[in-house]
Structure 1
């Protein structure tokens, strides 16, 4: 623990300067967690490869872009749509998913040549990117891909969850079901054998379409001429309900007149029993309606760009809610913000039963329609074709007047969420909690928890950085039977257990985490995953997160006993007149940390420094020995994280009576420089640094003194030079004719002292 090398007489003036130089050499500590613009922060953070969080990664040589994920009905197989291939992964074992079968589906050479001829990239675009992968029935999957900018679809046969080869004669045109460009967003859902898709319908990506195909009902699509959808519409989700199918997308707002294009999030509705019009709107939707989604905090700019949406079923079905991820087109500082909002299906249905908007052709503005009501109401899910009068009305009144207002559950600055997966978890008391898994643009996965019976916002339980190189999370798929979440990336699929309770090594950590999947087992002294059977002795406090109550009995690990005694004391034997660093592990990013010395709640400022959680000590003449403790305070609960008993071999010191029975462990911690938690490579003396700082300081002072003395002399010398150059030789007269021109005087150079700080010449004017 002692600083090796020569001993320093820190009582002397050089010793004091050395300690101050050491503090100057340390880089500034990073901002504290939760400060600045970050606001809500994950309590704990992990990275892939960290032994504390068990993760597994599947990859396949030669394959890229694992974008589309589909879970089988029995939950044992994960179907993955990659670039030019479809895979079936066996996920029954908790380790790395095993490749069960794979079928290649590359774009034909002719299509790739046509794609390259249209000036698309042969390296990144002219492939078959799988964009639709849905279960058609018990024996077949239905898949669609970009097929080198020529969308195609096919049926894939299943045998014992394995994929059968794709036949060339079974490949069909996929226009309107899959996008042309792999960069374009899309959505598709299969309901009762019928596929509802939202994507771009042309090569240029300027014709969005909502299409219904397959099944026994007629093929229907949106009318491009009527501009029901803006050319930049971007689809993110399709959610079926009892009688309708909802499409969630983002487009440029047409009802607002601003100088800048205003993006807005929408929800559109079409009826499942729509058969199209007989004379008007033939083979077109006759029930298409859309409304604006509003996700905003009071007094703040709205989150107007939707990225993804999912439905969490409930009983009764009318109580189901849609959870959606939003970002904003405006930046706050240099970062964007994200939000998760909840929308009730009841509220969505009510808005679609409300008033319409119409375009005033005289003013070219959208206003509320106040005309007579038509019975039956246009846009309702009637049986059979609608009347010509109703269809004429529907052609121009497809936008609803009222907004669907969502409830912000989580607002996070400095991050952009891309995907979302939600589930309901139950705690020991039988209360339900909403658990959200959020993928970001940098490849991290956030786990957020919200008590359904609480009005508070969500808490970020943990953050896991999956790929080492930042890239967006392509897709998320929950596998409840496997207790895992699967995340798709460009290079493969990550398997993330939805909870790893073993990372919480004590009752205090387990309770403060407030993870509904974890509870403390006092018998085994472990934080365990909630699964059958659950014993009544297990401890959990989801509402308050109070370890003092939940850990009052049984082994409690790092949690405080009645007088906050440590569980173990680390004994440090020092060399007198040395500099020490005592580290404090930060288990929680939302806790505040402080150091105490002995019975005092603070440490002496004259001989110590709290640097980024670590304590730097200047110990001299046997002073400053004793008990040093790092305390964490979280959720109004304080407990000792680590305790050091600093002693000297020359001056034995006895522990306090109440600490005498606590186990002690001898440790040696070398003097290190703290920089983001990383130490210097080896123990070394800081005398070279002290000498370097002293020499540099002397040079700076000498240079400043020389500059101050030289400036007046230089100015006077330059002034004399300028005046001498301008004078003519004595006795010389000016010429009287043009034939004898006066020779110009010699040019004068200004000295360094004649140039100011802005490099402007001074005193060079010549009469």
Structure 2
């Protein structure tokens, strides 16, 4: 083998390890696998798609909408069903849906899509109803859920297609909805159903193949010096009309309308006069295509003004080549400023068949197009949108798109994660032991896990990842209750409820503090990690730095183990953190692994024990934080080798085989073998031991120009065997019914050469 081969191997291995390290971007400190005790769960046999929720904290209820059913669950323990009601489609509706080309077993059902509380404490509920959406009112009394049979047309309120994204919100008993208004899904609308129905125009410049995400209300009229109106914000993605692209480009958007909008008098009758939209970016990711918004959460401090509210949004790539997901945060004041002061985009016809969108630089009508009715407009005699002049209305009808894109706080994402795509987000603000407020993000993924993460001064930190559903199912809805302090998640196959923190998972002070969980701290009296609000005393906690210097020394009990000579024993040691590395000491000195002392991911394996293996073994965990590096003892063993010890080692041997070497070691071995094989092939091609395919073809064309296609193929197939068989006799490829006869080399005609075969086995002659 060439002497450069080992150098190539050892040069490539560090590169492989670097790639593996980069793939662990924002890795969770703790991974909690699925377990029935992780949370409360609800599932009813034969019912699917638990993806609509309404928290009725006033009566301690969780209303859960599923396929053809609505459940009333105990808000404190959703595994307790208090009531339920079925809303199934009739056979006639199912038959008509089937005749329209839909699947009778999946699409031709009634998927509950809207659950909103009304002013009289009833529930407004809508379902897809076999591609014929309907709405009704539902009440809960005496432990029973009842549909009042006051059926209303659900078109424009609820989607036809149960698998189409939509958004809705109830504001002062008025339903705002974003969905498709027709069966084909080709007419998207943002609509307010009552008291005066108002919707968007059916123009591509307003909504172009949108994918609706979420809606939120902002009380911008509260203590407003300008006499402004409240706003309803809509987040969605759509095909960009302003892009001069060969292929369609999908971008993320935020749009808003004014609550008091009644439409125009002549222009834009029963259409929004305040509909404006702008591109919303989450930059700094590896893909050249913009990332697409998936969900948002509005976080407001009740002690501050609405301008200080934040929108947290999660994004996923639209390219299959990237597996990154991100979280970006936006100030409501920044969004509002773009709509109130920004430039507009306008379409300009060009020589080709499409319009080019550019920034509008002409005169802007007064009142400002898209603005709500404020004090300035009222002084001019405009008290409602019906009074707006046609020039202002025509302007906004043609130019609803803003030129400026909205950028996140800091100009970059708060959190980036490689792996399972983010699906839903909830953010909660908590006051830690240091008196500061921290925003903790709870993010649902397509693999049925919840990420609990925080961003401390630009540092991404995922506290833990908890598996909620098994088998893994995408989390389709995520809600938070301030009353119970619990999270509620829904998927196709069930719903789950988990607390904001499970502090008891940390068994030591150092583990509790290094988790940097704002909800948890170490109680030095009770000697356990507890919920911050549950302790009357001051707790040891360090959220920003992870400073565990105040922690007392861990009290680890030593275990005595006896091995019989030539026996096997595994010393267990599970790392408390994914960010920590474990190491072993023997008799106070670092242990050197060998063939008989194998270090595994979760322990140390002693094989064929001898007297020299006796001694004191200690497993150490080393973890870095912002403060410093911390080392703690995880396990302590005193091992003795005694012929009188237990001789039943079968279980130990089997366990060792199951655990085996670490995945990292296996990856290194595979990488080594692949690189070695490539280097060996390259060396043989270089030395001519293996011919290159194009060399064989060229050689045969030169030798047999009249039949170079077939000869080249045969010669290339046999060339690899030519060297070892060059001194052996030749025989014809077919014996023509006769015994094989040896032929002298000079007696073989040229025409027979392509069909001759070398014989490697002397017994065949």
Q: State the TM-score, normalized to the length of structure 1.
A: 0.78
Q: CA deviation at 1:133?
A: 0.6
Query: Contact (CA 8 Å) 2:98, 2:108: kept in 1 or not?
Result: yes
> Aligned pair in 2 of structure 1 residues 139, 612: CA closer, same or farther (>3 Å)?
closer
C-alpha deviations, 1:100-126, integer Å up to 9, x for none?
Answer: 221211223322111100110111110
Mapped to 2, the partners of 1:255 and 1:227 lie a distance apart of 9
Mapped to 2, the partners of 1:291 and 1:378 lie a distance apart of 14
1:343 aligned partner: 330
1:763 aligned partner: none
Query: Contact (CA 8 Å) 1:91, 1:97: kept in 2 or not?
Result: no
2:284 aligned partner: 297
1:371 aligned partner: 362
Mapped to 1, the partners of 2:754 and 2:389 lie a distance apart of 97
Mapped to 2, the partners of 1:728 and 1:532 lie a distance apart of 100
1:199 aligned partner: 179
2:47 aligned partner: 63
Mapped to 1, the partners of 2:657 and 2:112 lie a distance apart of 45
1:739 aligned partner: none
Mapped to 2, the partners of 1:502 and 1:609 lie a distance apart of 32
2:163 aligned partner: 183
Match status 1:641 vs 2:634: yes
Q: CA deviation at 1:623?
A: 2.0
Which of 77, 98, 123 pairs up with 1:141?
A: 123
Q: CA deviation at 1:97?
A: 3.2
Q: CA deviation at 1:50?
A: 5.7
Match status 1:38 vs 2:24: yes
> Aligned pair in 2 of structure 1 residues 237, 753: CA closer, same or farther (>3 Å)?
same
SS in 2 for 1:531: helix
Match status 1:47 vs 2:33: yes
Bigger mean CA deviation after superposition, 343-352 or 132-141: 132-141
1:362 aligned partner: 350
Number of residue-to-residue matches in the alignment: 642
SS in 2 for 1:294: coil
Which of 423, 426, 439 pairs up with 2:428?
A: 423
1:101 aligned partner: 83
C-alpha deviations, 1:31-52, integer Å up to 9, x for none?
Answer: 999834131111222233265x
2:306 aligned partner: 317
Bigger mean CA deviation after superposition, 405-414 or 475-484: 475-484
Q: CA deviation at 1:82?
A: 1.0
SS in 2 for 1:65: coil
> Aligned pair in 2 of structure 1 residues 717, 161: CA closer, same or farther (>3 Å)?
same
Mapped to 2, the partners of 1:463 and 1:676 lie a distance apart of 25
The higher relative CO (CA closer than 8 Å, separation ≥ 6) is in 1
SS in 2 for 1:62: coil
1:517 aligned partner: 519
1:306 aligned partner: 293
SS in 2 for 1:348: helix
SS in 2 for 1:106: coil
Match status 1:717 vs 2:722: no
> Aligned pair in 2 of structure 1 residues 712, 224: CA closer, same or farther (>3 Å)?
closer
Gaps of 5+ in 2: 1-15, 220-229, 374-382, 662-720, 734-740
Match status 1:630 vs 2:619: yes
Query: Contact (CA 8 Å) 2:124, 2:137: kept in 1 or not?
Result: yes
Bigger mean CA deviation after superposition, 38-47 or 112-121: 38-47
Mapped to 2, the partners of 1:727 and 1:458 lie a distance apart of 76
SS in 2 for 1:535: coil
> Aligned pair in 2 of structure 1 residues 600, 355: CA closer, same or farther (>3 Å)?
same
Query: Contact (CA 8 Å) 2:250, 2:290: kept in 1 or not?
Result: no
Mapped to 2, the partners of 1:66 and 1:417 lie a distance apart of 18
SS in 2 for 1:389: helix
Query: Contact (CA 8 Å) 2:568, 2:652: kept in 1 or not?
Result: no
C-alpha deviations, 1:412-469, integer Å up to 9, x for none?
Answer: 011201111111111122211111111111111111133xxx4223421111112212
Q: CA RMSD in A?
A: 3.1
C-alpha deviations, 1:373-405, integer Å up to 9, x for none?
Answer: 322211110232221001111111111011110
Mapped to 2, the partners of 1:241 and 1:114 lie a distance apart of 42
SS in 2 for 1:508: helix
Which of 285, 297, 306 pairs up with 2:272?
A: 285
SS in 1 for 2:727: helix
Q: CA deviation at 1:189?
A: 0.4
Gaps of 5+ in 1: 1-29, 559-566, 653-666, 680-709, 731-741, 755-767
User: Which has a greater percent of helix?
Assistant: 2
Q: CA deviation at 1:180?
A: 0.5
1:241 aligned partner: 218
SS in 2 for 1:116: helix
SS in 1 for 2:395: helix
Written as runs of structure 1 = structure 2, the 5 A alignment for 1:243-258 is 243-258=230-245
Query: Contact (CA 8 Å) 2:139, 2:146: kept in 1 or not?
Result: yes
Which of 72, 87, 94 pairs up with 2:71?
A: 87
Which of 442, 445, 450 pairs up with 1:440?
A: 445
Q: CA deviation at 1:716?
A: 2.3
Q: CA deviation at 1:672?
A: 4.4
Mapped to 2, the partners of 1:483 and 1:668 lie a distance apart of 48
Written as runs of structure 1 = structure 2, the 5 A alignment for 1:143-222 is 143-159=125-141, 162-167=144-149, 170-214=150-194, 216=195, 218-222=196-200
Match status 1:616 vs 2:609: no
Mapped to 2, the partners of 1:74 and 1:66 lie a distance apart of 22
Which of 477, 480, 483 pairs up with 2:482?
A: 480
Bigger mean CA deviation after superposition, 118-127 or 586-595: 586-595
Which of 568, 582, 585 pairs up with 1:596?
A: 585
> Aligned pair in 2 of structure 1 residues 96, 351: CA closer, same or farther (>3 Å)?
closer
Bigger mean CA deviation after superposition, 610-619 or 355-364: 610-619
Query: Contact (CA 8 Å) 1:75, 1:481: kept in 2 or not?
Result: no
> Aligned pair in 2 of structure 1 residues 199, 750: CA closer, same or farther (>3 Å)?
same
Q: CA deviation at 1:668?
A: 11
> Aligned pair in 2 of structure 1 residues 206, 610: CA closer, same or farther (>3 Å)?
same
Query: Contact (CA 8 Å) 2:48, 2:66: kept in 1 or not?
Result: yes
2:692 aligned partner: none
> Aligned pair in 2 of structure 1 residues 598, 213: CA closer, same or farther (>3 Å)?
same
> Aligned pair in 2 of structure 1 residues 57, 357: CA closer, same or farther (>3 Å)?
same
